[in-house]
Structure 1
Amino acid sequence: MRASVRRATAVVAGLLAVAMTASGCTPTTSRAAADSLVAIPGADLSEDTVGQLESAVNHAIAASGATGALVAVWIPWAGAWVEGLGTTGPDSDEPVTTDMHFRIGDITRAMTCDVLYELADEGVVALDDPVTEWVTSVPNLSDITLQQLCDGTSGLGDGRARLDYQFNATPERVWNPREIAAAGIADRGRVGVEVRDSDAAYVLLGMALEGATRESAQELFAEHVTEPLDLDGTELPSSAPAAPGDPALPGYISFRADRAEGCVAPSEYTTISSSMGFTDSGATSTITDLARYGQSLAMGAVDGDGELGERWSKAMPFEDAEYVGGAYLAGSMIGQKGSASGYLTSVYADTETGMTVAVALNNSAASADLAGALAKELAAIASKAPAADGQEQPEFGLPWTAEDFHQVVAEKAVCPID
């Protein structure tokens, strides 16, 4: 049974403060709720816990071919660990620092759904609006609703397999969203009966929200996601080729030849056009912002009794969890995993306690599954962290162990681990 947010807050009293908005309103299902955020703990984690976390991240760095990683682990009853590991490049001695920006990949999908639910609350759109009401250039999709685009149940396919070569060959090319959507529209499945990994769905959703508001996706993200949550290091960039921010964590891809040589000379993909991701996978962030966003998404998903809100009520089995609302539900945690040229990312947070893990690896040769497995491994380690002096460890657990997902990271490896 899910514990209530009120009980979780009581458990960590004295260490944490709940960040309240001026209105003091209760969280809704419309977006990640700023007034349910748990502040960053002030204590440091134990050396043993940090050692386990660091070992897990270094294992994933090797498995992915990355030269470095960013990680944030917030444990309300124990402390926080926010760190940059490794270096910024294969021939660089420059350390990775926690102020560096990176691309968050498919975590963008949850933000696009935040905008949808906010606009639905405002009456600008309805969740059951057909996509064709706002994107008139796709008349054959009249049986698909905006909510189905968000939930991954539109039946549309993922066009990235068809476009990856072009993305990698011309990373600075500016793409029209319709080009990306068309690749996924060509692969149609059953509507409303199963979850499919579909970049076309979230690109179309972004186009629909632009059509309904006459605002750009960049403006919508700022208005409904980043500004309300004070995510100063997060944005959906314009289509102009650019690094993910300043300072940027350089991003790389180890192609087949580099993998054969042991992942020692990856190709750099720091400067690209975010148009290839748009509202599916185009956003950028920092590790602290990503953790803050993930925590707000999870804590805003439950009401005062600890029950999941409307946005999360139609979850369907997908991969090793459930999926709905642009995110995965795994045990009591909500989160996402992502891939964008040069980066693998993941963030998960616990709806019961606010425990949060966020990671970014700077090589996208492997799949997003590797980053997702790393985040779950870190969450399992964090869930066992001993309470700091004067604090009480809450009674909750996860339906997996750190060893389970340590093995998954090894199975998803594309580069030598030793």
Structure 2
Amino acid sequence: MGRYRTPTVLAAASLLLTALCAGQAPAAAPPGRAGIDPATAEQLDDAITAAMRKAGIPGVGVGLWIDGDGSYVRTFGTADKATGTPIKTDMHTRIGSVTKTFAITGVLQLVDDGKVRLDAPISTYLDGVPGGDRITVRQLADMRSGLYNYTEDPRWTAAFKADPHRAWTPQELLDFAFAHPADFPPGARWEYSNTNTVLLGLLVEKISGQPLHTYLQQHVLEPADLDATSLPTGAEIPSPYVHGYTNFTPSGATVDASTWNPSWGWAAGAMISTMDDLRSWVPTLVTGRLPDGGRLLEPGTQAQRLRMLPTGHSGVGYGLGIAELDGWIGHNGELPGYETVAVRLPQERATMVIVVNSDVDGKFGSLSSLIANTVTEIATPEHVWSLPSAAQPNTVPEPSTTATAPSPSSSSPSAPSTPIPAPTPAPSS
């Protein structure tokens, strides 16, 4: 299906990233087009560091690449408060609900292969889903199934807080969700639910005959040459990695969550990546094409993926595992200790990746959205990231508040996401 990318293109991308990370001066932008000139870069530096001080953020990575018009790639602060190690673009980080973009790519590939139908009831493929004969695969992917979000169950929250290193199976997560009645009839409205994507992960496993992490590795990550991206099977995270800090604890104390087990998020929020890999992934996600011209998805399937439907939140649309906010397309993700934004602005041919190693949002709301807003107000003032608080990725209830229906990402900030939900603080995806 032409999903593979050539070594030449990969090498060129690697060289470009090496030059950017080495701190070479960004190219000036042609008149009348968005770009990152030295004066803009300095303004961004000042604004980001001010936002970090204000919100008490340990470390931030920001990448803004405008095709042919300049780039801004910076890291600020520390990846590890214990050692003071600086954060870097090649460090692994947990991406929360940005995971959904990968998992649902797997579903859509099976659609392209003729093995899954988007408008077939999920009961066609999986047993045991309440009302599964009326919930379609499409409704799971675009968050319109009505199924209860398991990360909002107080029993699940209590169990997670009691042992954040616990390994969860997908069925255990679904048991929490299915103990609740549906929130609304399938298709009646939009509501972010991690339950949807866990079911789609099981769908990929059932139809492909492979574990989800194996399928994604072979059919999504390898074709896209994402060597630093993975769906872990436990609490592992490859070195070098960013330590993430959270107060999603019984006492509300802030702790290092980098070794917590993300299996509670699984297909909805457990993946690991780097800024460098996400920079490569986002254009592929948004166009459906690999850099060598091969296809990740067939054009018709990609068009369905990008058909954004209203979410009920101003300026936020959601497609099939992908969101849109004021022109930015992709996903955000949040989970304990980590927040991510990975999005594309096609109008300006711009890609933005933001990683933050804290979800201690406090009065500032989502920290990744704070940084994304800071960056876009300066660099793309006609397309400002301003995610409504009600649409923030929140996979799990905030430490001292009642959980509300998340809305992406990853993330998830992360984690959408972009635009909408993505799991967030304590368990979040």
Which TM class, normalised by the smaller chain length? Answer: 0.7 to 0.9
Q: Find the counterpart in structure 1 of residue 120 from structure 2.
A: 129
Q: Find the counterpart in structure 1 of residue 215 from structure 2.
A: 220
1:178 Cα offset (Å)? 1.4
Q: Answer whether contact 2:313 2:388 (CA < 8 A) is retained.
A: no
Matched residues, number: 357
1:55 Cα offset (Å)? 3.7
1:407 Cα offset (Å)? 11
Structure 1 Cα separation of the partners of residues 132 and 348 of structure 2: 41
Structure 2 Cα separation of the partners of residues 187 and 75 of structure 1: 46
Q: Deviations over 1:8-65 (max 9, x none)?
A: xxxxxxxxxxx9946xxxxxxxxxxx9xx99769661433222333344335534654
Gaps of 5+ in 2: 27-35, 290-294, 400-429
Q: Deviations over 1:207-232 (max 9, x none)?
A: 11111111111012112321111111
Q: Find the counterpart in structure 2 of residue 88 from structure 1.
A: 79
**1:379 alignment partner, one of 376, 380, 389:** 376
Q: Find the counterpart in structure 2 of residue 184 from structure 1.
A: 177
1:267 Cα offset (Å)? 0.6
Structure 1 Cα separation of the partners of residues 210 and 361 of structure 2: 35
Q: Answer whether contact 1:105 1:281 (CA < 8 A) is retained.
A: yes
Q: Find the counterpart in structure 2 of residue 8 from structure 1.
A: none
Q: Answer whether contact 1:251 1:362 (CA < 8 A) is retained.
A: yes
1:110 Cα offset (Å)? 1.5
Q: Find the counterpart in structure 1 of residue 165 from structure 2.
A: 172
Q: Find the counterpart in structure 2 of residue 340 from structure 1.
A: 335
1:168 Cα offset (Å)? 3.2
SS, match of residue 84 in structure 1 = strand
Q: 1:229 to 1:222 in 2, by over 3 A?
A: same
Residue 205, structure 1, aligned to residue 200, structure 2 = yes
**2:311 alignment partner, one of 305, 314, 317:** 317
Structure 2 Cα separation of the partners of residues 250 and 348 of structure 1: 23
SS, match of residue 175 in structure 1 = coil
- My pick for the range that moved more, 57-66 or 281-290, is 57-66
1:365 Cα offset (Å)? 2.8
Q: Deviations over 1:211-261 (max 9, x none)?
A: 1111111012112321111111111111x222x3211101111358987xx
Structure 1 Cα separation of the partners of residues 222 and 55 of structure 2: 33
Q: Find the counterpart in structure 2 of residue 9 from structure 1.
A: none
1:171 Cα offset (Å)? 1.9
Q: 1:314 to 1:66 in 2, by over 3 A?
A: closer
Higher relative contact order (CA 8 A, sep 6+): 1
Structure 2 Cα separation of the partners of residues 184 and 227 of structure 1: 33
Structure 2 Cα separation of the partners of residues 381 and 141 of structure 1: 46
Structure 2 Cα separation of the partners of residues 63 and 348 of structure 1: 25
Q: 1:318 to 1:225 in 2, by over 3 A?
A: farther
1:68 Cα offset (Å)? 0.7
SS, match of residue 245 in structure 1 = coil
Q: Deviations over 1:299-339 (max 9, x none)?
A: 33999x9xx81222252234231111112112332021111
Structure 2 Cα separation of the partners of residues 249 and 278 of structure 1: 20
Q: AA paired with 2:313?
A: E
Q: Find the counterpart in structure 1 of residue 231 from structure 2.
A: 236
Q: Answer whether contact 1:342 1:362 (CA < 8 A) is retained.
A: yes
Structure 1 Cα separation of the partners of residues 137 and 250 of structure 2: 42
Q: Deviations over 1:382-401 (max 9, x none)?
A: 236xxxxxxxxxxxx42x4x
SS, match of residue 97 in structure 2 = helix
Q: Answer whether contact 1:315 1:323 (CA < 8 A) is retained.
A: yes
Structure 1 Cα separation of the partners of residues 139 and 348 of structure 2: 30
Q: Answer whether contact 2:120 2:136 (CA < 8 A) is retained.
A: yes
Q: Find the counterpart in structure 2 of residue 292 from structure 1.
A: 280
Q: Find the counterpart in structure 2 of residue 112 from structure 1.
A: 103
1:366 Cα offset (Å)? 2.7
Q: AA paired with 1:121?
A: D
Q: Answer whether contact 2:146 2:185 (CA < 8 A) is retained.
A: yes
Q: AA paired with 2:371?
A: L
Structure 2 Cα separation of the partners of residues 145 and 139 of structure 1: 12
SS, match of residue 352 in structure 1 = helix
Q: Find the counterpart in structure 2 of residue 143 from structure 1.
A: 134
Structure 2 Cα separation of the partners of residues 92 and 169 of structure 1: 27
Q: 1:139 to 1:343 in 2, by over 3 A?
A: same
Structure 1 Cα separation of the partners of residues 251 and 379 of structure 2: 34
Aligned-CA RMSD value: 3.5
